[in-house]
Amino acid sequence: MKKGTKITNKAYPFNPDGDHDIHFDRIDVRSEVDYNTDFDDPDYFLIKIHKGKIFGVNKLKFKGRRFPLLEPNPVTFYFSMAFDAAQQIEHAHKQLEKSLSNSDSSWPLSVSYSYVFKVATMGIVFGYTACEAFLNQKLPDFKEILMNDAKYYDKKHIEERFGFERKVTAVSIHTQKDFVVQHPRKMERLIKLKELRHQLIHLKEVKQGMATSYNDIYQSILDLNLKIMVNTVKSFINFYEPKMIVNYSYNSSKT
């Protein structure tokens, strides 16, 4: 039995005074249209309205074929990659154990460790990316946030200038839901996740004994409990947006 992540769709509240810039008086509804002409027209767009929400429809092309796609939420794409990596990490650890015990000569130690490194890095990078993307989504498009320094900031400024922790504060103020206060230990894990992600992306050398440069990050990869870290990411996102991240089990023989 395998596990996966449900891909959800990006939505906005259906409210004339709400947080979206869709002007319904400009929508041109035609019963008979030239599909290709309208598809290629940048001013012609498609939406779906369901249960009080507005869903955008992407107009995409692949190998000359046009197709509409109800816009998926990339946060669930990022999380699904982190989640899949967390499901693989146990196998990677077992393979490393085999190499250390010389019970599998077909896998050199360097190859086994690279497997652990690859899987863990995917979980770290995409887990953190899911958090960052989600925070940017939760910022209001047409409203400034009054921060703790008594200044107002708009979405663009927060996206470009605020670090992770301050973005969490901004979203907490906007939603009136404080993850840091209610889940301090989980927030500590997310800060650790951020630090690991930055170390992996920037990969600055730390000389030890004038010979090795990356001993600390290699050890951190081995010490990390990736499953707990990814579950923390899920808890963080669902705290502010319940049921955005949904996992399920499936029988791979039927897919």
Give one DSSP letter per residue of 40-108, joined into a string: H-TT--EEEEETTEEEEEEEEEETTEEEEEEPB-HHHHHHHHHHHHHHHHHHHHHHHHHHHTTS-TTS-
Q: pTM for this structure?
A: 0.86
Q: Tell me the C-alpha distance between 204 and 19, whole Å.
A: 41
DSSP 163-195: -HHHHHHHHHHHHT--HHHH-HHHHHHHHHHHH
Q: Tell me the C-alpha distance between 53 and 12, whole Å.
A: 5
Is residue 171 a contact partner of residue 241, using CB atoms and an 8 Å limit?
A: no
Closest CA to 79 of 11, 183, 7: 7
Q: What is the pLDDT of residues 17-36, one digit of tens each?
A: 556 666 655 555 555 567 77
Look at residue 14 in the predicted model and tell me its pLDDT.
Answer: 64
Q: What is the mean pLDDT of residues 246-255?
A: 75
Please give the DSSP secondary-structure letter assigned to residue 197.
Answer: H
Share of the chain above pLDDT 90, in %: 67
Whether residue 86 is predicted with pLDDT greater than 90 in this model: the reply is: yes
Whether residue 162 is predicted with pLDDT greater than 80 in this model: the reply is: yes
Confidence of residue 47 (pLDDT cuts 50, 70, 90): confident
Look at residue 245 in the predicted model and tell me its pLDDT.
Answer: 96
